[in-house]
Structure 1
Amino acid sequence: MPKFSYLVLSLGITPSVYYYFQTRAQFLGDENIQCVDTRKRDLNLLNVNKNTIAIINRYAGIGALWWLYRQRHQLAKVAYFIDDDMPNAYRASELSWWYGIKTTLKFQISWWMISRMGGELWCSTNALANRFPDLETQIIPPVCLPIVNSNVEESPVYFYHGTWAHRHEIAWLVPIVREIQKRFPSHVFEIIGNRKVKKMFADIPRVRVISGMSWETYLQYSGKVHYQVGLAPCFNTPFNQARSYTKLFDITRVGAVGVYSNPGPYQDAIADGHRGILVENNTQDWIEAISKLLNTSVVEREKLLENALTWCNLNLEDSSL
């Protein structure tokens, strides 16, 4: 069989590019995966041939789609990769109406052109692929082996690093954080957010709201800190049911142990009590789970972290494209 090379086109280097493609190149030593930011590269200077599989990651811009259309006969295959339910984003109540509409339009434009090239649809999860019963899809799960900065001293911090797309979960965390801050007077809660998030947590002591940042900047930031507990709330909505477990990687990277929503995308990745804690979306249960981990000794938390890292390593096996 021919050895394929993979050309991944996207608007910027995003979490989806990183967790589904760059990580395979980085941790599996696959030099045949090239990720291209279509905002910065002249695509006409790229070399492709009959062994090249070109992949549009979510959306790469109209110019990249037209370039791909012109090159289609020179390629082995064309694929379109999505890591959430982009076609139905406009229906997702958790997304802002404009973001949801834009996301769906990007999918429609991209898939309209790629399907006319005879392209394939690649999905991040089985749940997402099942939403396309008339298509034969390929599943590309996320992989990563987070590098924990063990030289950094552990800080008494628990955190939630999510985007405004999870604004309902952010609002839901407010009373939970308020109670945890009462129980743990020396701990800091860190969250990424805008002025609206700052307003939500304004009356709670020791809450640190940091501004959103590019993915490259976030990777640098998370590689320089060492926290105790990471939160991954995820409401059981139709849109969220198609998500994957990438928050596990984000939490593990900073040396923390996670509290994860159950049900949700983490059920298959988290063995409760071994790699983190699965919790129903009940306020009191979350308060108790966070309290339990914050009260756990450093040694016990490190065991849970080691279990998570071991799972991440095993997850890399047989995960080549």
Structure 2
Amino acid sequence: MVSRQPRALIVEQGANPTSDFFVRPWLDANGEEITTLRLDDSPPLLDESLPTVIFVRYITPAWRQWVEKNRQKMSRLVLFMDDDLFDLRPHTGLPIRYRWKLYRLAWRHQAWLKKMGAELWVSTPWLAEKYVSWQPTVLQPQSPYSGVGSGLSAQKTLFYHGSASHSQELEWLYPMVEQVLNQDHTLSFELIGNSKVRNRFTALPRVHVLYPMEWPAYQALLSRPGRTIGLAPLLENRFNAARAHTKFFDITQAGAVGIYADHPVYRSIIRHQHNGVLLPMDQQAWADEILRLSNDEQSRKKMLENAKHQVFPL
């Protein structure tokens, strides 16, 4: 049940660039209050009128039924598209699964949309000219990257570059990473893993999973700037007892400050709060320290400089 109706409801397949470049800026500029639902969400019950309903690119049979039931409660029904979804000819040559998706979720609904009195919003004058009989509205794209270029809300990269032998550490990290990403929206998380790892972490916001790579490619990756906090967890087991502290060199090369397991492997190289942070394998302690370091640039800078002097002595 929707307790307080929004002025505008966006129905989209998920977070996507189409909505962020076109639809949201247009609604924001017009003072619309926005609520968003996913295409695979259950349609809401409506107790009162809903001024604007916008389907971004796609619509499903369940949402069609909902529109038919509630059309009289909507002042505006809109379909926005930024590709030519209503002509099958340009789809030739696209992957067959994508062509079927365009047919199933877009093309076959155009007659129904007209019957329902839907407006057509488009991304370019070219589309507006092609579908001129529908009298489309052209939305100009706007930047969704507010403040990023100026550094006002720049992302900081938290990363863990464990190999396939660190699957237990990845599982240990998951709830802690989930917590910090939800609490600090300036943090993104980067890790290396296969499709299983990607599927495991895909539900978390701002996660980037890199596929495993050869050593020269990894060295080049570390040499690119942009990483802030590196993680080096290490669970107590017989396999990990044979590890060396090479992660210290990787994290320092990446220009980041490391949080390391308080384990004999890292005690030999890390001085706590001098060239890195040593912590017991306690997830809440790691989460708290990540959040602290994320907001303490001076502390990060000091520890990184000490680590660099140790790794790259003059």
TM-score scaled by length of structure 2: 0.49
User: In terms of Rg, which structure is larger?
Assistant: 2
| Greater relative contact order, per chain length (Cα 8 Å cut-off, separation 6+) | 1
